[in-house]
Structure formats: C-alpha cells, structure tokens
C-alpha cells in the first residue's frame, strides 16, 4: 500500500473515532481504467479514468453503517465519518458484526494469483 493510501485510511479511522464510532475499518484504492472499443477495425470509443476510492465502515455496539467516496479532502473524510456514525445509530442490531481478530487476517498472499490486474502495457497516445 502506498504511503498516501495508508495515510488516507489512518485519517478515516481517526475521523470515525472522533465522530463516536466504537470500532471501524477503512479501505483506500488507487485505480486506473482504460477502455477501447473497436468496430469494423476502426476506433469507436476510447476512455481512461483514474482515481482514488475510499470506504469506511463504522460500528456502534452491534450496529454498523458503510459509506464511500472518491473525494479525499479532509472535510470529506470528516463528513463521511459523521454520516456513517449517524447512519449506524439508526441501523438494526446485528449480533454478527465485528472486526476480525488479528490472527484471522491474511498476511502473506500472492496478489498476482488473483489476476485482478492486466499487466498489458497501456496504449501510447496517438
């Protein structure tokens, strides 16, 4: 995980604590997508998108709520945490929620084996 993504998740967790969450977990993903459509051998459409997506789950007792955003400004992180805590207060009780014990977390795994990214080089600009 890059330093920026690690800092974003740490900031989200801190915002959740400040907003009143009993527990929380966060995710930050930096992604790039390229889409090329060809029809009858000719380029029909080309699209590229880049961005960071963030998500936060907060728990209040046995209630939880999840929120996500693509805006990573500090004000957005604060608002996300406050909104998630407010939503969790209204959520139904769920006796099965909670954070995984540290010994249940994956530590050494082969991300390449998941085949979630295409290693093909991006097309060069024309």
Query: Is there a domain that residue 107 lies in?
Result: no
pTM of the model: 0.79
- CA nearest neighbour of 84 among 14, 21, 40, 4: 21
Residue 72, domain extent: 3-99
Question: From CA 64, how far away is CA 66, in angstroms rounded?
Answer: 7
Burial 7-42 (b: 16+ CB within 10 A, else e): ebbebbbebbeebebbbbbbebeeeeeeeeeeeeee
pLDDT at residue 126, rounded to an integer:
65
Number of domains in the chain: 1
For the stretch 31-78, pLDDT in tens is 988 899 999 999 999 999 999 999 999 999 999 999 999 999 999 999
Question: From CA 89, how far away is CA 95, in angstroms rounded?
Answer: 15
CB 58 within 8 A of CB 19: yes
Most confident of 19-23, 45-49, 97-101, 105-109: 19-23
- Mean pLDDT taken over the chain: 92
Residue 124's pLDDT band (cuts 50, 70, 90): confident
Give me the CATH number covering residue 72: 3.30.2290.10
Query: Is there a domain that residue 71 lies in?
Result: yes
pLDDT at residue 72, rounded to an integer:
96
pLDDT at residue 119, rounded to an integer:
79
CB 15 within 8 A of CB 81: yes
Query: Is there a domain that residue 115 lies in?
Result: no
Query: Is there a domain that residue 12 lies in?
Result: yes
Query: Is there a domain that residue 106 lies in?
Result: no
Say which DSSP state 26 is in.
Answer: E
């Amino acid at each position: 995980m890059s330093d920026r993504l690690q800092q974003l998740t740490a900031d989200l967790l801190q915002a959740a604590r400040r907003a009143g969450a009993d527990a929380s977990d966060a995710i930050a993903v930096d992604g790039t997508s390229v889409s090329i459509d060809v029809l009858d051998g000719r380029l029909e459409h080309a699209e590229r998108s880049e961005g960071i997506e963030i998500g936060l789950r907060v728990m209040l007792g046995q209630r939880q709520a999840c929120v996500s955003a693509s805006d990573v400004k500090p004000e957005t992180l604060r608002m996300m945490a406050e909104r998630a805590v407010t939503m969790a207060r209204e959520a139904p009780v769920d006796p099965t929620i909670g954070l995984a014990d540290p010994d249940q977390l994956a530590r050494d795994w082969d991300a390449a084996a998941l085949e979630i990214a295409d290693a093909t080089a991006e097309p060069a600009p024309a």
